[in-house]
Structure 1
Amino acid sequence: MNNAARRVALLARPGVARDRMREALDQAGANIVLEADPATTDQDAVLAAQPEAALIVLDATTDEALDRFEGVLSNPQIEVFFEEAELAAGRVGWDAARWVRHLRAKLLHSDNVLPPGGESVAPPGVAPPTPAPLEPVPAVMAKLELSLADIDDGAPVDTGSDLELVTIELGDEAPRYAREHSAESLPPLAGLELEAMGGTDEAPAGGNPFAISIEGLELESDHPADTSRFQDDMADLHSRIAEMELVEDRTVATMRGAVLILAGIGGPDAVRQLLGALPEGFPRAVLVQQRLDGGHYDKLVAQMQRATTLPVKLATSGDTLQGATVYILPPTLGVQAKDRALAFNDSPAELLASLPANDSAVLMLSGSDPAQVDAVMKLAGAGALIAGQALDGCYDVAAPAALAARGGQAGKPQDLARRLAERWH
């Protein structure tokens, strides 16, 4: 027994899952100070062993017994890890070895989950390079070169973008276009250049190449036809105003969105860390779609409630989503707009497409489905906040890695919670 290793209490019912977890802890270099069945022991026995960490193997019986261990679960000196009994019993070979590496990393608070010999070795005295943080793919900014002579002659204007050729015919409609598309309504343009076409390349003495001189101009009296047309236009305007109805000013409320957390194998710990880092009263509904082999989503409610101060509920078809609430979302449910709000329904395929992108976020954690990356990226293009779990410490990296490759941001669960809090502060 290595007394210098971290002291760990293993709480699990006797059986294959407990045997596998004992072997995993031994291989991870842990010092097992207590091995007990949660159904026949109590928290005083656990606290007396003075563990630095507790590994709890969950099944239906253990879930019911955990209420008696509140003093262990809430003790800041004890780091708690959970594992599903079915997963622990079925994990063998390469998958078991990988889980041991992740367990060792958690116990040692290390980001290294590579097999022996897979670590990058730096020369003596030289620190290993720090990978650059992932940033979103920058938007392409087109350079617009606009010629005054082109506007006067009604010639087409070319954006000069390498991706798409856009031609705008202004002609006689230039004044109206300028009125309807003020500078405030136009998107920012990088490198806007105006080129004066006047037969000389030299600027006037004042230094302004666009100076307009009115010297020598004379005012001419209105032409009778112009006056008549003006009067007709004014009469038409008065007629249109007379037909208008006054409507009470009102602001149409933007439908509130939600935070969707997608996770699977290796995800429960990441979800707990993320929920635990969310501030009390977080204003948006948080949907947790955690893929479980056994499908015991009602048990997941109790587990997640221990990790967060927010209320945790099991989503039910027809219920309206409430802010500052965590919902465990079974894969058989989706959401839909209902009375300017979101409500759960029985159409899971519409889940991502039904989220209001401008007020929603999607986080892809360990074990989430890579097939959903395209739909998540579509939401990002419409304004949603998207991010994946950082690959260091992530057990199943397929979806987070695919999201990062497409330009998505990444972070540890606590960092993702901080970004959510900043978004809806």
Structure 2
Amino acid sequence: MTQPQVDQHSNPPPAFANTAFDVVAFAASAGGLKALSEVLSHLPSDFPAAVLILQHLDRSHRSLMAEILRRRISLPIKQTEDGDKLSPGEAYIAQPNYHVLVNSDGTLSLTQSPMVNFVRPSADLLFESLAKSYRNRAIAVILTGTGKDGTKGVQAIAKMGGMVISQNQETSEHFGMPRSAIDTGIVDLILPLPEIAETLIQLVKKGRE
């Protein structure tokens, strides 16, 4: 696997056309497949941002999430591979047992470096690398899940001027990850699951209002 090329002092990748945010990254754990299916199925095929999906899964089994989601959403979706280039309107789902890092040239690196928060892939590492590379053109979304993965990562997103969205307690099957992110005080929007997709569409097309 290649080494990550993230450099917080480098220029961000070129912005996509007709979009206020270039990348939307989701993190989920327990209950995540249902929540991800709900949100992603309501994103249109011409969604102008790239979509990154990180779901905590059993590391010992091949993931079928890409195949399952492919039947439910209109966006093209693939499992991440080392060197993938982020493209608008494409969805990329993290491989089990590999951290996913976003490089300063808009490519992805996969690594089996040590687990973070007892998980691999780690939302913290994904969000932190995304923040360094895409800065204020990134959105992080925390969905249902146990534990605290993603909490440090959303702080990095906020620090670089990006946006952070969390699923609310009422619609979360497990509120550990959303609660931990919300407790940082930096979450921009706390939304019920059915409102997240439409909010993302508006944000990506029009930006903050």
- TM category, shorter: 0.7 to 0.9
Structure 1 equivalent of residue 199 of structure 2:
419
Where does the alignment leave 5 or more consecutive residues of structure 2 unmatched?
A: 1-11, 17-21, 114-120
Query: Secondary structure of the residue that 2:41 maps to in structure 1?
Result: helix
Is the Cα–Cα contact under 8 Å of residues 271 and 413 in structure 1 kept in the other structure? Answer: no
Structure with bigger helix share is: 1
Change (3 A) 1:388 1:424: same
| Counterpart position of 1:114 | none
Q: Alpha-carbon deviations, 1:84-124, whole Å to 9, x = none?
A: xxxxxxxxxxxxxxxxxxxxxxxxxxxxxxxxxxxxxxxxx
Cα 1:363–1:336 change in 2 (3 A) is closer
Match of 1:393 in 2: 171
User: Which amino acid in the other structure matches residue 353 of structure 1?
Assistant: E
Classify 1:333/1:374 alpha carbon distance in 2 versus 1 (closer, same or farther; 3 Å): closer
Name the SS of the counterpart of 1:261 in structure 2: strand
Q: 1:260 to 1:303 in 2, by over 3 A?
A: same
1:15-67 CA-to-partner distances (Å, cap 9, x unmatched) read xxxxxxxxxxxxxxxxxxxxxxxxxxxxxxxxxxxxxxxxxxxxxxxxxxxxx
The answer for the alignment partner of 1:67 in structure 2 is none
Of 146, 150, 161, the residue aligned with 1:383 is 161
Q: Confirm whether residue 362 of structure 1 aligns to residue 140 of structure 2.
A: yes
Contact 1:262/1:368 (8 A) holds in 2: no
CA distance in structure 2 between the partners assigned to 1:297 and 1:325 by the alignment:
22
Partner of 1:231: none
- Tell me the residue number matched to 2:44: 279
Indicate which of 354, 373, 382 corresponds to 2:151. Answer: 373
Q: 1:368 to 1:316 in 2, by over 3 A?
A: farther
Code of the residue aligned with 2:135 in structure 1: it is: A
Instruction: Note if contact 1:255-1:341 (Cα within 8 Å) is conserved in structure 2.
Output: no
Give the aligned CA root-mean-square deviation in angstroms: 2.3
CA gap 1:380/1:269 in 2 versus in 1, 3 angstroms: same
1:304-336, CA deviations, whole angstroms, 9 ceiling, x for partnerless residues? 112211111111111212221111112413223
1:206-245 equivalences under 5 Å are: none
Q: Name which of 54, 57, 71 aligns with 1:306.
A: 71
Q: CA deviation at 1:390?
A: 1.3
Alignment counterpart, residue 259 of structure 1, candidates 6, 15, 24: 24
Whole-angstrom distance in 2 between the partners of 1:393 and 1:277: 17
Aligned positions of 1:186-197 closer than 5 A: none
Structure 2 CA distance, aligned partners of 1:297 and 1:343? 20
Return the alpha-carbon distance in structure 2 between the equivalents of residues 269 and 383 of structure 1.
Answer: 29
CA offsets per residue over residues 191-213 of structure 1, 9 Å max, x none? Answer: xxxxxxxxxxxxxxxxxxxxxxx
Higher gyration radius (CA): 1
Residue 277 of structure 1: how far off its partner (Å): 1.1
Q: CA deviation at 1:424?
A: 1.5
Runs (4+) off by over 3 Å:
252-257, 294-298, 347-350
CA distance in 2, matches of 1:289, 1:297: 15
More contact order relative to length (CA 8 Å, sep ≥ 6): 2
* Residue pair 2:142, 2:166 contacting (<8 A) in 1 also: yes
Does the 8 Å contact 1:373/1:399 carry over to 2? Answer: yes
Deviations 1:252-272 (A, max 9, x none): 974564211111111111000
Residue-by-residue CA offset, 1:182-240 (whole Å, 9 max, x unaligned): xxxxxxxxxxxxxxxxxxxxxxxxxxxxxxxxxxxxxxxxxxxxxxxxxxxxxxxxxxx
Please give the TM-score of this superposition, normalised by the length of structure 2. 0.73
